[in-house]
Amino acid sequence: MKFGSAELHLALQAACDAGDLPRAAELLYEPVCAVSRFLFVKYRETFSLYSVQDREDAISDALLYMLDRLGKIAHPEQEGTPKASFYYQFIYNGLRQRRHRIVRETRQASLDTPFTRS
């Protein structure tokens, strides 16, 4: 199933209404992985700090981010089936969570290094 399809939207609504997070994760896993790979390429400068492991972790972060917001995703404010871009924004925000951690760790590492005068 793809984002923007009525089939996926209705299945996510059913999983949300039943409180079935494992089913929602199963439904979201493949589309989140595919869209994440697309977004890594489209916004390569944004994700340039990511190692291969960071990218894998970011995809997991994006999935968890979406599951945490399942109510908003399954029951959006607008009527009908949301367009794919609606879901892409959630994935993009989830992927950026890893970036914030990488930048924070980089800054901490640089602050922990001893200061030497030239």
pLDDT in tens, the chain (118 residues): 899 999 999 999 999 999 999 999 999 999 999 999 999 999 999 888 888 998 999 999 999 999 999 999 999 988 888 999 999 999 999 998 876 666 666 665 554 555 455 4
Neighbouring C-beta atoms of residue 63, cutoff 10 Å: 20
Q: Determine the pLDDT at residue 108.
A: 58
Instruction: Enter the tokens of residue 24.
Output: 């929602």
Q: Determine the pLDDT at residue 113.
A: 53
Q: Determine the pLDDT at residue 115.
A: 46
Our CA dihedral for 62, 55, 88, 18, rounded to 10 degrees, sits at -30
Q: What are phi and psi of 4, to 5 degrees?
A: 95, -10
Q: Determine the pLDDT at residue 106.
A: 64
Q: Determine the pLDDT at residue 112.
A: 52
Q: Determine the pLDDT at residue 118.
A: 47
Compute the distance between CA of residue 30 and CA of residue 45 in angstroms, rounded to an integer.
24
Compute the distance between CA of residue 15 and CA of residue 21 in angstroms, rounded to an integer.
7
